[in-house]
Amino acid sequence: MPKTQFEKQDGTGANLGFDFQFLVFVWKLLDLNENESISYENKDDVHIELSNGELILFQIKHSIQKTAKSENTSLTDSDTDLWKTLSNWSKIISDDNDGRANFVDQKDFIKNTKFILLTNKKTPGKSIFIESLSKLQSGTINFSSFISLLDKITTERAKEAIKQILTLLGDSNAELFFTRIVLDLSIDGIEKKIKSCLNKMMIDEKRIDSLYSEFLGTLFSQKFETMKQGEKLTLSFESYRKHYRRIFDIHRNSNLQFKKFTPEISGNIFSQTFLKQLIDINDIDVDSDKDLAIKYTTEKLSIFNNLKEMKINGDLTEKEVDEFYEEVVSIWLNSHRKSHRHKPYDSDKEHNIAAVNHIDHLRESQLRIAGTDIPIHLSNGVFYHLSGVPMIGWRTDWEKKYLQSGKRDCDN
């Protein structure tokens, strides 16, 4: 069936190709050594300059095509990516605008450069080019025999590329060029490879995913901003370490990492017990403070979900969480006694003012659990959670008004 215009304009394959190229850049960046540097879309898709002055050029090709068995397709002798890559490399080698107009300069460049075609395409069952290249590089055949074998490849694109290489480089340099080519095939699961590199950096396995997301997000932003200014993204080992070390340190740190949760809030938000407590003391208003009620609810659910996930992941034990809540109740009790020391009150208004001062004081408290400071907004969420259970309250009659009613907020 002919493709629709929408299908013709579908950029999925191209987008995945660019994503794959960027992920390969990240993978190779993580493997960088001292006095080395890596560039994106500069001398090639990706290139690395080693400490000994050697240059590694990467042409990166990604295919979304699948076989009948849903496997990646193979890099065959008729593959356009293969011959286009070899053709482009021969043009780079012979670029007189880059100081390589003669064969001597071209030879020096080839001797100092490794040419890597990296792709997710599979190694084919049979390939004249791949088999012949292996024989040439191992010394099994000479260059003349190698070219004779390549002549058996009948596609026009292959013949044009071979002719161009021999014309631009000459036989001697062309032979040297083919010995410097590396075919890195069947590169799949690139995200897994990156995470494996992160794991080798002594990062707790439970924190790999969050580090992966933050590192890639920050690096992508740097790439975008750099290229937007018309510049090329180049990172030396030293600049990469300086720029990104803090991100790794944070995720390597034994301190707990609090995630941002965006809970779904539905129904009558003011029916929650913790908000009823705040309404009753005139801390918030049903008619004018819905946004504030959403903020407080988000803080309450966020800390609850964080602690719940930390217990599931083994970052905190049930005992640690229980003892934490006990400590918070003690903090609340001290503040509660201090705030209501002058009871009984002459009026309900006076009672509520003392209750508001009580919670205002606690909202300034930064709580700690397992040696880690909890951000203020999440610390506030702990008090909201406990007042919704309810284990604490703001007025002196909170137990009678809320605990004995049997109603409690369901945060899970």
What does the block give as tokens for 253?
């740190």
Cβ–Cβ under 8 Å, residues 157 and 125: no
Q: Edge-to-edge strands of the sheet including 37-40? A: 181-184, 113-119, 55-61, 46-49, 37-40, 233-236
Determine how β-strand 368-369 pairs with β-strand 372-373.
antiparallel
pTM: 0.67
Low-confidence ranges of the chain (pLDDT < 50): 4-12, 412
The pLDDT score that the predictor gives to residue 411 is: 61
pLDDT computed for residue 3 by the predictor: 53
Residues 399 and 391: their CA atoms lie apart, in Å, by: 9
Residue identified by tokens 């779904």 is 264
pLDDT, tens digit, 9 for 90 and up, residues 370-384: 889 999 999 999 999
* pLDDT given for residue 407 in this prediction: 59
From CA 172, how far away is CA 317, in angstroms rounded?
A: 68
Q: Is there a contact between 361 and 339 (Cβ–Cβ < 8 Å)? A: yes
Give the span between the Cα atoms of 34 and 239, in whole angstroms: 11
pLDDT of 263 reads: 83
Q: What pLDDT does residue 406 have?
A: 55
> For residue range 194-226, what is the model confidence (pLDDT) as tens digits?
999 999 988 888 889 989 999 999 999 999 999
